[in-house]
């Protein structure tokens, strides 16, 4: 598993890349993706609940269900479709990083297996790769995307 800060930045960067351009979903959705990407309101809530790490809260089907809910809400034009969408992005980005961090990977009920990568692709928690490459890349990406999105919103207003 990556550190909470790396999970959160990855989630925020991913949301900023795919978010709707309206200011409210962009800003509030970034916060939702950020907090659902790492910490107590993320797949790692299992750590504070004492229910065993990388179990039910790490199921691949959770962000998929949130994505389907967002799509169903968006079809008739419901205005808050971005809420489950941003949660799916945050939760899903956490799981994607967890696939790269150890033998346990993440579970899937539909596929009836655990998804992981070969040992040589593992990202070691708080190791040099995470601290020196992943975290700075996610930080720079989130910052650049945030600046770009704000700039584009300002252009639309004029």
The pLDDT score that the predictor gives to residue 158 is 67
- The per-residue pLDDT of the chain, averaged, comes to 92
User: How confident is the model over 49-70, as pLDDT tens digits?
Assistant: 888 889 999 999 999 999 999 9
pTM (two decimals): 0.91
User: How confident is the model over 31-48, as pLDDT tens digits?
Assistant: 999 999 999 999 999 998
Cα 61 → chain centroid: 14
How far is residue 62 from each of residues 48, 94, 153, measured CA to CA in Å?
A: 19, 12, 31
Categorise residue 105: left if φ over 0, alpha if ψ from -120 to 50, beta otherwise.
left
């Amino acid at each position: 598993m990556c550190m909470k800060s790396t999970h959160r930045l990855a989630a925020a960067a991913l949301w900023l890349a795919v978010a709707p351009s309206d200011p409210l979903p962009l800003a509030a959705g970034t916060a939702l993706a950020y907090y659902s990407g790492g910490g107590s309101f993320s797949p790692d809530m299992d750590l504070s609940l004492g229910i065993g790490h990388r179990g039910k809260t790490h199921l691949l089907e959770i962000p998929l269900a949130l994505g389907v809910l967002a799509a169903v809400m968006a079809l008739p034009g419901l205005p808050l479709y971005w809420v489950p969408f941003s949660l799916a992005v945050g939760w899903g980005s956490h799981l994607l990083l967890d696939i790269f961090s150890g033998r346990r990977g993440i579970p899937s009920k539909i596929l009836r297996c655990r998804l992981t990568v070969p040992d040589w692709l593992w990202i070691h928690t708080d190791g040099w790769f995470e601290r020196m490459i992943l975290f700075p890349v996610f930080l720079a990406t989130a910052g650049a995307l945030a600046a770009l999105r704000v700039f584009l919103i300002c252009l639309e207003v004029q």
